[in-house]
Amino acid sequence: MSVLTASPAKRLTAAGRVGISLPLDGLREAGTYVCNWSGHLLRIHDPEQDARRFSNAGRQNADAWTVTRLSADPHIPRPHAKRLARGFGLCTSF
């Protein structure tokens, strides 16, 4: 399965799709994500509240700050998230 990539300038929602890469500051839906720059697990429960934490301020290269959506459920078990990430060919560190 290929991973879709969105331009950091666009505000793209995953609309229920998994395996799509989005800019970190463009997250608009709850779910489980993997940080593409570090492989860390990111769980978004309330996108409106969490969006304030991910502003572009202070980042030198916003293109590198993307995440890949693994699931619409922010509560999936870590081993399941790791299997999903591996299925998309992503490196993980969780």
The answer to whether residue 92 sits within a structural domain is no
C-alpha pair distances (Å), 63 with each of 5, 44, 81, 94: 11, 20, 24, 23
- CA atoms of 71 and 53, how far apart (whole Å): 21
Is the entire prediction scored with pTM above 0.85?
no
- CA atoms of 1 and 42, how far apart (whole Å): 21
Query: How many structural domains comprise the chain?
Result: 1
Half-sphere exposure of 34 (CA within 13 A, CB side): 26
Digit-coded pLDDT (tens) for 79-88: 999 999 999 9
The answer to whether residue 11 sits within a structural domain is yes
The answer to whether residue 13 sits within a structural domain is yes
The answer to whether residue 19 sits within a structural domain is yes
Domain membership of residue 40 as a residue range: 4-87
Q: What is the pLDDT of residue 7?
A: 40
The answer to whether residue 93 sits within a structural domain is no
Mean pLDDT value across the chain: 79
The answer to whether residue 21 sits within a structural domain is yes
Q: What is the pLDDT of residue 49?
A: 74
Using the predicted structure, report yes or no on whether residue 10 has a pLDDT greater than 80: no
Q: What residues pair up with 69 in beta bridges, in sequence order? A: 33
Digit-coded pLDDT (tens) for 27-64: 889 999 999 999 999 999 987 776 666 665 555 665 57
Q: What is the pLDDT of residue 67?
A: 93
The answer to whether residue 94 sits within a structural domain is no
